Every structure is written in structure tokens, then in C-alpha cells.
């Protein structure tokens, strides 16, 4: 049997650390995964909404009641708030026209009464 001599070459620790990358970067993702964001259920969302209702601004481009109304209206296919408001405005306009007609009738009657009174003099 043949004898084999092994020679072991030892380097100083400082030289090894300066020369050889001892980090296992190939086996570890470069960025750590972010924790999953909390996504509430629909029931939880509405419970939070009720709790935060008065803290939410009435108006604003985002994060407001106006934004919720606008985006929800777009989602359901029309702004029902505007539909109801337009119906009320139309009713007000109709009542104003009727009121003006009744006022004109009253004025015409008053004029006729005055003219009749003057003609009997």
C-alpha cells in the first residue's frame, strides 16, 4: 500500500475574510418577504367604517365620504344620490312654476276686481 502525504496550507483568518466571501447570499433571498397586509372581511370593514365614521372627512379627493360615494356610485353603475337629488330638483321646479301660475291668477283676479270697482264709480 502506498502512503500519501497531504499538505495542509493554513491562511491567517484576516487574510481569509479579506479574500473569500463567507456570506451565503446565493441561498438567501436578497429581500426579506414583507408580512401579509391585513385585509379585513366585508363584515370587519363595515364594523371599522362605523367606528371611524366621524373621523373620516366629508370631502376630499381620497379618503373621504365624498370619495366613497363617488367610487361606489361608479361601481354600481350610476350615482343614485344624484338621481334622487335630480328628482327633487325637478319637483321643486314644477312646484315653483305652479306657484308662479297661481300668483299670476291671483294678480289677474285682483286687477279684474279693481277694474270692476272703478267702472262702477
Residues 44 and 65 in one domain: yes
Count: domains in the chain: 2
Range of the domain at 112: 80-121
Residues 88 and 120 in one domain: yes
The per-residue pLDDT for 32 is 61
Q: Which has more pLDDT, 34 or 62?
A: 62
CA distance to 4, 46, 48, per residue, from 43 (Å): 76, 5, 9
Q: Does residue 17 lie in a domain region?
A: no
Q: Is residue 84 situated within a structural domain?
A: yes
101 located within any domain: yes
Q: Is pTM, for the whole model, over 0.75?
A: no
For 7, phi then psi, to 5°, come to -110, 125
Residue 15 placed within a domain? no
Q: Which residue has the cell 418577504?
A: 33
Question: Does any domain span residue 59?
Answer: yes
Residue 92 within any structural domain of the chain? yes
In a domain, 60, yes or no: yes
Using CA atoms, how far apart are residues 22 and 16, in angstroms rounded to an integer? 9
> What sign has the CA pseudo-torsion 68, 74, 75, 79?
positive
Query: pLDDT at position 50, please?
Result: 94
Amino acid at each position: 500500500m502506498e502512503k500519501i502525504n497531504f499538505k495542509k496550507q493554513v491562511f491567517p483568518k484576516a487574510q481569509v475574510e479579506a479574500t473569500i466571501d463567507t456570506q451565503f447570499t446565493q441561498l438567501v433571498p436578497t429581500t426579506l418577504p414583507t408580512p401579509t397586509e391585513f385585509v379585513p372581511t366585508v363584515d370587519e370593514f363595515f364594523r371599522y367604517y362605523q367606528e371611524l365614521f366621524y373621523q373620516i372627512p366629508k370631502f376630499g379627493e381620497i379618503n373621504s365620504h365624498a370619495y366613497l360615494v363617488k367610487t361606489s356610485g361608479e361601481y354600481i353603475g350610476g350615482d343614485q344620490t344624484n338621481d334622487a337629488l335630480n328628482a327633487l330638483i325637478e319637483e321643486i321646479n314644477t312646484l315653483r312654476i305652479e306657484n308662479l301660475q297661481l300668483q299670476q291668477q291671483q294678480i289677474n283676479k285682483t286687477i279684474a276686481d279693481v277694474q270692476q270697482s272703478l267702472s262702477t264709480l
